[in-house]
Amino acid sequence: MAFAPSPIPSRTQYVLEAIKHSILTGGLPPGQPLVETELAARFGVSKTPVREALKTLAGTGLVVMSQFKGVTVRTVDAAMAHEVYDVRMLLEPEALRRSLARRASLEPAREALVRADEAADRAERSLANREFHRALYLPCGNPLLARMLDEVRDQAALVSTVAWAAVPSWEREAAEHREILRLALAGDSDGAGQALHDHIASFVQRAFPEETPHEQP
């Protein structure tokens, strides 16, 4: 019995997830050119789903499209890292406070911590950490706020991938996650929000310290 080929949207989604996974696990490093013909051959598809996937990834900020350089994996520098994490510092603590005010279940966050602790590699750990943060802000009661935070998730994951490759500090982040959850479970919304803010701020400053201009003599 012959099977009809998968529709283009399904192929596009498959290619999209595969490229994203490679980027967020370091398989495709920042600055890596993404050539449509090479990717099409790699995934056994035509160039059309590859092109559509790359457009979507450009919209999420994971890749950059240039008229002259083509498509490349986005380069992470201190400016980019601080822009992304500044958004998180402004929005995530407030979203967590709102989730706690609505008495949202924290079980998904607890489960994500367990998965992070049991992760077999950096990719699994990164995914579990992202799920932990999302579990805290998703039930905030404001779909627009949750979508705004979803939109920077991939860029934040790219930042952490680059940072962990240089300085693997996930054990420190895991301890901070447990403290955030402890405060949240205790009903201390202000304490949990502040701990979350400090967690985000300390990570980006540790991984991408901002340079202080030298004073003129």
pLDDT digit string, tens, across residues 17-64: 999 988 888 889 899 999 999 999 999 999 999 999 999 999 888 999
pLDDT of residue 133: 97
Q: Of 76, 132, 144, whose CA–CA distance to 106 is shortest? A: 132
Indicate if 42 and 108 belong to the same structural domain. no
Residue 45 sits in the same domain as residue 91: no
- Mean pLDDT, the chain, as a whole number? 89
Q: Has residue 67 got a pLDDT over 50?
A: yes
CA-wise closest residue to 15 among 26, 38, 32: 38
The answer to the question of residue 135 being in a domain is yes
Q: What is the pLDDT of residues 84-99, one digit of tens each?
A: 999 999 999 999 999 9
Q: Are residues 83 and 56 in the same domain?
A: no
162 domain residue, yes or no: yes
Q: Is residue 1 part of a domain?
A: no
> What per-residue confidence (pLDDT) applies to 1?
39
Is residue 5 situated within a structural domain?
no
Instruction: Please tell me the total count of domains within the chain.
Output: 2
pTM for the predicted model, two decimal places: 0.82
**Contacts of 5-9 spanning 24+ positions with Cβ under 8 A:** 8/48, 8/49, 8/52
Q: Can you give the CATH number for the domain in which 63 is found?
A: 1.10.10.10
Q: Are 28 and 34 in contact (CB under 8 A)?
A: yes
Query: Over the stretch 195-214, which tens digit does the pLDDT of each residue have?
Result: 999 999 999 999 898 754 44
Q: How far apart are CA 72 and CA 65, in angstroms?
A: 7
Cβ-based burial of 122 (10 A; exposed 0-12, middle 13-18, buried ≥19): middle
Q: Closest Cα to residue 158, out of 61, 50, 36?
A: 61
Confidence bin at 13 (pLDDT 50/70/90): very high
- If residue 122 lies in a helix (H) or strand (E), which one and from where to where? helix 122-137
- Same domain (yes/no): 132, 29: no
Q: Does residue 5 carry a pLDDT above 80? A: no
Which CATH number goes with the domain that contains 89? 1.20.120.530
Q: Kind and range of the H or E element at 64?
A: strand 63-66
- Structural domain for 21, as ranges: 11-73
Instruction: Classify residue 182: in a domain, yes or no.
Output: yes
Type of residue numbered 54: L
Residue 129 Cα distances to 10, 28, 34, 62, angstroms: 27, 20, 27, 18
Residue 9: predicted pLDDT: 62
User: Which of 20, 38, 73 is the last residue before a domain boundary?
Assistant: 73
Q: Out of 8-17, 86-95, 144-153, pick the least confident.
A: 8-17
Q: Kindly report the length of the chain.
A: 217
Judge if 193 and 147 occupy the same domain: yes
